[in-house]
Structure 1
């Protein structure tokens, strides 16, 4: 697998950028350029007696027009989950070289960020756009800062054995737009034109935001733990949670919900749908006695929720429980499937 010569660590140093993320999340390198980029916490500055300033950032490297929207929703979901008040949005875009395609992409990124900043009443700093030698795909560094009110701080529920796992929202919208935009010709050769049209109409705004879930905060977050999915998919997320809590995770493979176009495209491009970018989906770990009430609450509020597994202290592995009638270890990805496929073709 080919990888770019320029590493993210060098880019951060050259541009004097600080990758900060004090907001809790599953840490996973956003591109396969350099898995060793150091994540350093930003100093929290007290701005008011009852609030403090926090910031988090995302690095996204997809050559697609919705690059800005993908990065923004990852950040905004973190703020929603942590009950933070976002204030300031700023970013840097690196493009491989000057050209019409890159100009159009950066214009789309800027337009998306301006629209989102207006919608969510955020201050948007001018977007810094630079041409950087040695990279193949555009890279967006986006950061969001805001306030955490002290009364919003609550004790974090720990993941323990015997908890049940609910998947909020199906896997995975980003791959649909990514594959459709880059490889439409191959899709058209295999599928009916109506299928390609259906893929292009998938709404990232609808599928990447967890705002609807956060409206149920009081009912859902009590005695539970939520984890945002992202690059590396549900497989990477489960392995991180298992390692952090020294527990085993068992998932029902047949129960995992996924957007039908995403599943068909993964079959076509031979991608593992469980190791692919699932931004917008959430894993909810909850005590078994609360499962039915949470599922009922989600159904009443039209939030898609599916019981997919449980935690155990009998082992520290991540397993499927019904693969050909036996338990089988879940594949642990080194890179997100979209990046693996993309860079294997360069």
Structure 2
């Protein structure tokens, strides 16, 4: 009877990567699960207010949800940790994303201190608890992820690409939610050797090809290749930590130098950007795509909380 290889699941903090091989099981600890074992973080009290004016087509219940979300977001904006980081956050265009993430997932013990309704306006003032340490960690991680994604997109761009190369995903808008499936597509105009890297929000880069388990990847010009679809050995499912991520494809007319032992499956993104990528001598073309990932809690918060709209005018 022919031996059937075991199917192992290789877990990183950003996604699930399924590999088929016979005797190697690789286990990487989750940064978030390790963090959950730490001692409880001290909490600080925050306060915020929000008013929502609603039109004739909107219900008071919707207006109340809108006022609550505005109050929560104002509480985050006024917290000293966010204020101290506000300039860098604005520079990277992350302000709204960070505020909504913190409002949805980081505020604890939310209490309504005051609620008023005047005609078609509802105003709410809340108090809540938040961990400044967790807030700092989240902001630092999101800024780091955004900076790495931007660096990955600009690294190794040839002045005159030899031929065309495209990389894209199964979601054209590039926004993925928790537990959603990610599929990566690559297409080159000409036959070439492919190097494909996935820069995750936790600061890790995953070398999809080539690596120690999958050698050089030679692709045919004009043919679309998929990583993560139903025919692929690898499967990508969005998991924490969340933030900005990037996928970078590089093609060359000669095989890439991956050393005698092969490219490791993962490495530190910053180290790789500073040394590994710069060591590639011959590049025919590059292409990158940026994606953003978020938890289901944040996605639900954004869906259920509406921003105020001006009351409709009737003749």
Do the structures match in fold with TM over 0.5?
no
Larger Rg: 2
The TM-score with structure 1 as length reference comes to 0.22
Higher percent of residues as helix: 1
The TM-score with structure 2 as length reference comes to 0.23
